[in-house]
Structure 1
Amino acid sequence: MSKYKRYKLSCETHNVRISQIISTFGPGAIMDFRDQTLMTAAPKYWTKYDIIHDERLEKKLHVSEFRIHKDVDCNRGVPFVRFPGWYFCPRCKKFQHISKWEKEYKPLRKNSNEFMLKPICMECKIPIIPVSVLIACENGHIDDFPWVEWVHLHEGKICNKPKLKIVSNSGTLGLEGFRVECTKCKASNSLKDAFNKNTFKEIIEGIKYKSIDEGLRKKFKCTGNMPWKGKKENECSEFPRAILRNASSIYFPKIESSIVIPPYSEDLNTKVENSYQFEYFLNDKIKNEKKGTLDRFLKEDFEYYIEEIGKEIGEEDNIYAIRKIIERKIEGTDENVDENCNRNFYRAEEYDALLGKIAESSFNSSEFKIVPKNSAEYGMEEISKVTLVKKLKEVRALVGYTRINPPLPYIMGTDKSSDKSKVVNIKEYEDKWYPAYEVRGEGIFIELNSKLIDKWQQDTKIKNKAEKLSQRYNKDKNDELKREITPKFILLHTFAHALIRELSFECGYSSTSLRERIYCNSSEEEMEMSGILIYTASGDSEGSLGGLVKQGNPAFLPRIIRNAINRIKWCSSDPVCINSSGQGRDSLNLAACHNCVLLPETSCEEFNVLLDRCMLVGSLENRDIGFFKKYL
């Protein structure tokens, strides 16, 4: 974007939270502001940022650091690009690209080079409106809908110097009533067939509109456009499809999160990571890596930086410990280390830490503070462990996005994608960082009794339910990316949803302020896990003063769990919901809907799928198959 000029937008009308830039409205996503619609630009155009670290996640994603945009100067805020490009005037109905609107704008201004910050129709003197229809493909490309070509589709060729306008048909509802006309040749077309999945494919392959000009036909191919990067890719084999600008499927962020655990959460480690000398060391390391002189750099300058870091943080007497920390971090950035991309392998360390299987001296640090409880105090045989997490830090990194279909949540990074879900990497190939932000909060960790789960999931009816969801989930996935959906996972996932909803209902938390983290192995190769972590979703909001942890005490948690179970015994949509053979996206839920167990999507790891409350409370015909049947 260096070839483009930056223009300052109003901080009041174009304000966005940093957490949104690394989630819902990340690079490549579209944001509707009061006066126009913009797309968040690529992170490489950030000019001010802070550096944050999570050694485990850096190692997993093969980067040296994470960066969070530093919103200290409104003149250098988060960069955007103008997209989509087509606007229409709601009064005169003129419909054209923004470049033509600007040509009409500049001659009528005192300064003919003045940029049109707020799109406006100079004839009607009113703001113009961005069109709501775009095209996108599964490779992550997005572009303006081919309006000129679509209007002239029935004519077979485009007229000379076409001019478009919106023609509304008040007597026709839906897309058929949205018609665009060329005032030059009177050609017109509605959007009636535009949103059919295979429309563009059929046009390109000549199945439809066989008589149209070949040059016109090629205009319907994917352009490979990536406006947020300011470039187009040369070729794209995917067929584009029409999509609404505000559709949820236009942008699915791929976010990798990590709980910072000992030894990475210990105070000395945090001091080292926050020092300026450590930042200088990383910068020099990256420069020497690119030059091919890394070995010489480590041999000649390593000890110098160790001493400088010790001086800066006032730990000259801990040089040996600092050296060990830096050596460990260097090993963590080796691109050949830890190639397994399965999320469960990554979370095994967190699971052990939450169970208290770490040195007792690590129970109380500035970033990680836990209080393991005696499960006998809770009086529920289904629960084998409860840990109160008084302090935790989570790092959330935006690594990529998908369009049309959501990414695979259990695959970490962007290297592997399914046939349906193709993750576009946010960073440039040569960059050694991802955009990320930190969350500090608290939580409750609950481990369910694995012996009882093993016995419970032997029931044929339970197995059949899980098998049904597993087959649907793995449809169109190659063998390497298939994932076994077990009864245990559905049980843990639905239990987490029920608990969050009950905490929201009973304790005053908004459901968006709480998140789930599921610890569940899906094969014998993985460490056995059967736990959930419910924690505050934002560092400085609800629950940061101990409110959530308090609910995890023996005096409160058993009652909350019982109430959660009984609340989902019945749904206002029963018997339709509880007898459902499939609902939600791709029919990946059974007895689960918005009235009983679904959560805001920011709170759920699985995009609100793979849920079935029958696993907890049984069916109408047989309550005995529910894991928590004794509390009904």
Structure 2
Amino acid sequence: MSEQIKRKVDLNRVSHSVRAAQAVLQYGVGAMVDFPDQTLVTAAPEYWSGDTGRIYDDRFAKALGVDYFAIPTNIAYARFPEWYFCPKCRKFQPLRKWVDEYRKSANPKILERDEYMVEHMQCPKCKQDLVVARIVTVCEKGHLNDFPWVKWVHTKSKKPVCGTPALKFKTGASGTEGLEGLSVSCSCGATASLKGAFDKDCFEKLDQDAGTDFFRCSGNHPFRHIREKCPCYPKTVQRGASSVYFPIVYSSLVIPPYADKLNVKIEQSKAFEDCVTIISDEEPEDKLNTIKKRLPKWTEKIALEVGASKSDVEKILIKKWLEPETSEVDVTGIQYRIDEYYALTGEISSSSGKALGDFSREEMDIKEYKIPHIKSVSLIDKVRVVNALIGFSRISPAMNRNDKGFVDVKESDTRWYPAYEVRGEGIFIEFEQSDIDKWIRDNPAVIERAKRISDNYSTSFIGKNHPRTITPKFIMLHTLSHLLISQLSFECGYSIASLSERLYCSEESDGKTMAGIFIYTASGDSEGTLGGLVRQGRPDAFPQILKKAISHAQTCSNDPVCIMSKGQGRDSLNLAACHACGLLPETCCEERNAFLDRGLVIGTYDNKEIGFWRDML
């Protein structure tokens, strides 16, 4: 809705609302959202109106090259698809024509309030609610276009496009089913069904046969209200198909010193927010001078509001704004996880001791657990996780900015990303690396089994663009994490979808040896959750939970097919793991339910020795 974006026409707040998490995940920038009365595309952040609730995480923000993050509040939407038809008179035309007809017949008082037919989309003549087009086209560069209805019906009829095309959409022709039963006709006599519209390269073949260049991608980005030149031929998809939108969401734990109580109080102060607004409005070359010039005054103002000494506040502001930035860190890389690992294991502690704002850790006495292979257990009583939407892709999933088809959700000069945060609790388990090394060294079959998954990954679509070696240690830790989440959900009453995992697995050659699992709640209010998960991590509960999780992994309702599998799931990236045993809801898993194998946890029918936890059975 180009005019609506420019004029920022307000939609009904009751019928057009989404949760903050939805506005970052499945209904994020660039995604189509089916509201009760119309379909809209979430517009770029630059079109959002009013003040957005700010989220601060300096480590995360610097890694992504922004100043802060913002909770989706007053979100703007664009009308797309633009083609609607009336189910009574069957008239089928773009929205702008419907609006023109509406303006000619609408009551002046209604027209004054709703100039663009936003409140109630209906045929001005029949008074029937309009129905949006079912199909759209997408291309590998991330463009989203209306299906070329006018060109399609005329080209298929082998007629030139008439001067004033007026289309009608018909369904359910007698004796025909599927796409053949859906037809479009023009007032000039051209008519065509939708047969072949979903065929691979159908648009390219139409151009070749007709000797035209009609059907190339229109280069439309409705979320930005722009069109780009695009050499691709698009692909026809259902409006709600999963391949229309793949969000790229990064997450980060807020760790000390960024989680310290004073740091949190400063970020929540009005004076600090005013300073950030001034800094964000400055040109990049002027920011440093502005900060240096105003720092003493800002320090005094913030210190007065938060009730802290000026020297302590100044140290934090200098760290935030004046410390030289290192080269941009890959949020998905090992080094970023190493910082979190230090915090979870206690190697990084808060400068303010136990007076923490967003991160609280309690280290347990591992001797009380009497569990083999576990080095330490830490109860994370309080944790804040920030999830930011940085981009999306269409047709094929992308993982970062360098991937083919990546579309950034914001302009380069916008200094924030849409995000939401959750405050919760968690259990961190660190494993004995020496025991894992011995298990791999003494069992060649373990390496062979992991290599099967690693080889399947290397030939997959994502694996070709993001090469990595899937190690036995990673598969074992990941599978155990899934088993523990399922058991913890049963024990403490959380739904499985409200728990998430964070895996820490690397070798010395990566910068640090890590072998740990962090299971945390991905829901909760501003004060976090009620301690139900942390309680299960104490010595009188966790050993039994671990034993039950491992014991339940011995059987699956799909055995022996599951345990003997040579490859199942997406791109055959799992071995002994299916929906009846090892898979979890997508929101729980970091790896999209891949790289799982019960065989490396409890062994297989023909080789029990390859199970790392076989001695607990």
TM-score (norm 1): 0.89
Counterpart CA distance in 2 for 1:612 and 1:176 is 45
Aligned counterpart in structure 2 of residue 491 of structure 1, from 468, 476, 479: 476
**Residues 381-421 of structure 1: CA deviation (Å, up to 9, x unaligned):** 1222111111111111111112222232xxxxx4322x4xx
**2:449 counterpart residue number:** 465
For the pair 1:323 / 2:301, whether they are aligned, the reply is no
**Would the aligned equivalents of 1:390 and 1:546 in 2 still touch at CA under 8 Å?**
yes
Equivalent position amino acid for 1:41 in 2: A
1:188 corresponds to 2:178: no
- Out of 111, 120, 123, the position equivalent to 2:122 is 120
Counterpart in the other structure of 2:295: 302
Q: Which residue is 1:631 aligned to?
A: 616
Instruction: Give the conservation status (yes or no) of the 8 Å contact 1:93–1:167.
Output: no
**C-alpha distance in structure 2 between counterparts of 1:309 and 1:260, whole Å:** 22
Q: Distance in 2 between matches of 1:429 and 1:22?
A: 19
Provide the rounded CA distance (Å) in 2 between the counterparts of 1:484 and 1:64.
Answer: 34
Displacement after TM superposition at 1:253 (Å): 1.5
Say whether the 8 Å CA contact 1:62–1:333 is kept in structure 2. no
Partner of 1:585: 570
**Correspondent of 2:360 among 357, 361, 369:** 369
Aligned pairs (5 A) from 1:348-367: 348-359=338-349, 362-367=353-358
Residues 1:82 and 2:82 are matched in the alignment? no
Tell me which of 229, 232, 241 is aligned to 2:227.
232
- 1:595 equivalent among 568, 580, 590: 580
Judge conservation of contact 2:217–2:232 (CA < 8 Å) in 1: yes
Distance 2:33 2:492 in 1: 33
8 Å CA contact 1:224–1:236 kept in 2: the answer is: yes
1:188-267 equivalences under 5 Å are: 188-191=192-195, 193-203=196-206, 206=208, 210=209, 212-214=210-212, 218-233=213-228, 235-267=229-261
SS in 2 for 1:127: coil
In the alignment, residue 366 of structure 1 is paired with which amino acid?
A: G
Give the Cα separation in 2 of the matches to 1:494 and 1:24.
26
Describe the SS at the equivalent of 2:7: coil
Render the CA deviation track for 1:472-495: whole Å, top value 9, x for unaligned.
Answer: 334456988422222222222222
2:192 counterpart letter in structure 1: S
What's the offset of the Cα at 1:258? Answer: 1.2
Distance 1:241 1:282, change over 3 A: same
Name 1:453's counterpart in structure 2.
436
For residues 435 and 531 of structure 1, do their structure 2 counterparts lie closer, same or farther at Cα, with a shift above 3 Å needed?
same
**Which residue number corresponds to residue 515 of structure 1?**
500
Kindly state the Cα deviation for residue 173 of structure 1 after the two structures are TM-superposed: 4.4
Q: Which amino acid aligns with 1:608?
A: N
1:52 matched to 2:55? The reply is yes
Whole-angstrom CA distance in 2 between matches of 1:349 and 1:79: 36
The residue correspondences of 1:432-451 to structure 2 (distance < 5 A) are 432-451=415-434
8 A contact 1:148–1:158 mirrored in 2 = no
CA distance in 2, matches of 1:630, 1:542: 40
The counterpart of 1:312, out of the listed 298, 301, 305, is 305
Q: CA deviation at 1:236?
A: 2.3
On the 8 A contact 1:38/1:83 being kept in 2, the answer is yes
- For residues 594 and 201 of structure 1, do their structure 2 counterparts lie closer, same or farther at Cα, with a shift above 3 Å needed? farther
Q: Which residue of structure 2 lines up, in the alignment, with residue 166 of structure 1?
A: 170
Matches within 5 A, 1:34-45: 34-45=36-47
Task: Tell whether 2:321 aligns with 1:337.
Answer: no
Q: Distance in 2 between matches of 1:573 and 1:33?
A: 39
**What's the CA shift for 1:427?**
1.6
Change (3 A) 1:284 1:116: closer
Q: Mean Cα displacement is larger for which, 502-511 or 473-482?
A: 473-482
Output the CA distance in 1 between the equivalents of 2:556 and 2:204. Answer: 42
Q: Secondary structure at the match of 2:41?
A: strand
Per-residue deviation at 1:535? 0.8
- Tell whether the 8 Å contact from 1:59 to 1:337 is kept in structure 2 after alignment: no
- CA 1:4–1:456: 2 relative to 1, 3 Å: same
- Cα distance, 1:515 vs. partner? 1.0
Q: Percent identity?
A: 42
Please name the residue that 2:149 is paired with: 147
In structure 1, C-alpha distance between the alignment counterparts of 2:422 and 2:63, rounded to whole Å: 19
- Cα offset for 1:151? 2.7
Q: Name the CA distance, whole Å, in 1 between partners of 2:526 and 2:174.
A: 48
Task: Return the offset for 1:331.
Answer: 4.6
Alpha carbons 2:334, 2:510 under 8 Å: kept: no
DSSP-derived class of the 2:300 partner: helix
Q: Which amino acid aligns with 2:337?
A: R
What displacement does 1:56 show? 0.5
Q: Aligned partners of 1:269, 1:541: CA distance in 2, in Å?
A: 17
CA-to-aligned-CA distance 1:35-70 (integer Å, 9 cap, x gap) = 111111111122221222101101111111111234
Whole-Å separation in 1 of the counterparts to 2:527 and 2:52: 26
Contact 2:426 2:521 in 1 (8 A): yes
Given the superposition, is the C-alpha separation of residues 461 and 96 from structure 1 closer, same or farther in structure 2, using an over 3 Å criterion?
farther
* Paired letter, 1:584: G
1:99 corresponds to: 96
Cα-to-partner distance string for 1:228-266 (whole Å, 9 max, x where unaligned)? 111112x22443211221122221221111111111111
Tell me how far apart the structure 2 counterparts of residues 343 and 33 of structure 1 sit (CA, whole Å).
37
Alpha-carbon distance in 2 for matches of 1:485, 1:466: 7
Decide whether the 8 Å contact of 1:367 with 1:392 is kept in 2.
Answer: yes
Aligned residues: 604
Q: Is the Cα–Cα contact under 8 Å of residues 423 and 526 in structure 2 kept in the other structure?
A: no
Q: Residues 284 and 364 (structure 1 numbering): CA distance in 2 closer, same or farther, change over 3 Å? A: closer
Pick aligned residue for 1:136 from 131, 135, 138: 138
Show the counterpart of 2:379: 388
Counterpart in the other structure of 2:396: 405
Contact 2:500 2:520 in 1 (8 A): yes
Q: Secondary structure at the match of 1:152?
A: helix
What are the Cα deviations for residues 81-113 of structure 1, in whole angstroms up to 9, with x where unaligned?
111112233344333222232233232212367
Distance 1:531 1:440 in 2: 21
Contact 2:250 2:332 in 1 (8 A): no
TM-aligned CA distance change 1:430 to 1:49, over 3 Å: same
Q: How does 1:531-610 map to 2 (within 5 A)?
A: 531-540=516-525, 544-610=529-595
- Tell me if structure 2 keeps the 8 A contact 1:67–1:436: yes
**Which deviates more from structure 2 when the two are superposed, residues 515-524 or residues 54-63?**
515-524
2:266 to 266, 272, 287: 272
Question: Gapped runs of 5+ residues in structure 1?
Answer: 71-76, 409-413
Could you list the per-position Cα deviations for residues 311-346 of structure 1 after superposition, in whole angstroms to 9, with x for gaps in the alignment?
A: 22222xx22222221121125684x53444542210
Contact 1:514 1:535 in 2 (8 A): yes
One-letter amino acid of the structure 2 residue matched with residue 380 of structure 1: I
RMSD of the alignment, in Å?
A: 2.6
